[in-house]
Amino acid sequence: MPLYAKFGPDTLTYLYNIFKHLFVYAALLVLVVYFVEAQRALLLDWFVPLPWIGYLSLSISAVIALQFGRSRLFWVCILLAILLFFTHGEIALSSAFNRYLPLIFLVILGYLSCAKDSGFSAHNLVITLAKICVVAIGSYLVLEYIPAVTQNSLSPIYSFANHIDPRLNALYSPFEWLIVIFTLILCFVRFIMISDNNHGALLLAVVLVAMMPAYAAFELHNVLALVLATSFLYAMLKDSFNMAFKDELTAIPSRRALMQYVNTLGRKYVVVMADIDHFKKFNDTYGHDVGDEVLRLVASRLNKVGGGGKAFRFGGEEFVLIFPRKTPQQALPFVEQIRQMIADYPIALRNKPRPKKRPKPVSAKGSAAKISQGKTVKITASFGVAKRSSQFSQFSDIMKQADVALYAAKKAGRNCVQLAKQPE
């Protein structure tokens, strides 16, 4: 939550973003459960001749994660390959350790979900490996000694699980179920806080690793590994696409996306240049934090434009709207609606919490910012509209015409829309 104002996207937009990311991984989970339960014989026939497919898919994902700087997904791929190796029975382990192994990996996944990508420098790799080892050893010690102490107090969980399905108690003990549920909740909350594809893939990994003890066949573990490797690849490619084609600050398509989108337009479209009025003065008066929130606010309003329009951040406080298959007269009502929506939105500046230490003396500019906190202000934007024509067929020329119209809107008093003077 920003200190100054409660801007941000609308609640429905925020919930839609969560649903959009969750839907992909939930659909993938449903497909996995369906095929493993209903088509198990078919899957076994497919994967028995391919015992290496899980290792190969995880190795490919790990290499791509290395190239994309996704250190958490890299470590997850390595750890899943190790888990797959042990479940294949290549090394004889005690039955207790075999039982603990998926749970230890669950706890490590929970830790990685809450950590940050730390890169691949030798120093960071050693530190991350040390932390993973500490989490693994700590998890093993907890699983080895704590259940005996808590056995009586957790008996209601045993009774509850037995009431639902007796097989649940064969899968995990009551204390182990607590670890599974805690890790699931932790990763889900983390996903809600940061709704991106990386955290969605990590949440899916937790669910599928928790399911592994229910499927004893190594070939089915291969299926789960293949699914997870695919989800990691999707997450990395999708997030990398967003980084390349979405503006990080405003979360709307960026200038690069605009230039790519232009190639898909036909012979008839309208370009609208938008600029926030007095933004530099606003930024200097209230600070860059408030300025960033203003940019997010304007972007969120522009992104709601109707009439088939599409919003892009062009740079700084400038935005571009594209209306395919529209004339300026057809696009004008939608531009006016957005202009009015921005002008009518009050921005409530809020006081910062009192600092623990005595602040250093501030300049006159900083003093003005402090005095201004706690009041409500409004912002406006000016718009210039131009169309593609036989005379101006290149996008760069149309942008220049829209920019001239924007300058005319500024000259006309700002907070208005001006059409470029173009031949019909």
Question: Which positions are catalytic?
Answer: 317
- CA 5, chain centre distance (Å): 23
Is the distance from CB of 61 to CB of 195 less than 8 angstroms?
A: no
Strands 376-378 and 381-387: unpaired
- The number of residues in the chain equals 424
| Half-sphere exposure (Cβ direction) of 46: Cα atoms closer than 13 Å | 14
The dihedral region occupied by 251, where left means phi > 0, alpha psi between -120 and 50, and beta the remainder, is left
What does each C-alpha distance from 87 to 30, 77, 83, 194 come to in angstroms? 23, 15, 6, 32
Task: State the SS3 of 348-368.
Answer: ECCCCCCCCCCCCCCCHHHHH
| Sign of the torsion angle spanned by Cα atoms 137, 139, 141, 144 | negative
> Measured between alpha carbons, how far is 255 from 316 in angstroms, rounded to an integer?
11
> Measured between alpha carbons, how far is 298 from 291 in angstroms, rounded to an integer?
11
Contacts of 171 (CB under 8 A, 6+ apart): 213, 214
DSSP state of 253: B
Place of tokens 């008066």: 285
Give which of 249, 253, 316, 315 is closest to 282, Cα–Cα: 316
- CA 80, chain centre distance (Å): 23
Type and span of the H or E element at 29: helix 11-38
Contacts of 325 (CB under 8 A, 6+ apart): 266, 268, 269, 308
Q: Exposed, middle or buried: residue 254 (CB in 10 Å: 0-12, 13-18, 19+)? A: buried
> Measured between alpha carbons, how far is 227 from 209 in angstroms, rounded to an integer?
11
What does each C-alpha distance from 3 to 12, 276, 289 come to in angstroms? 22, 22, 9
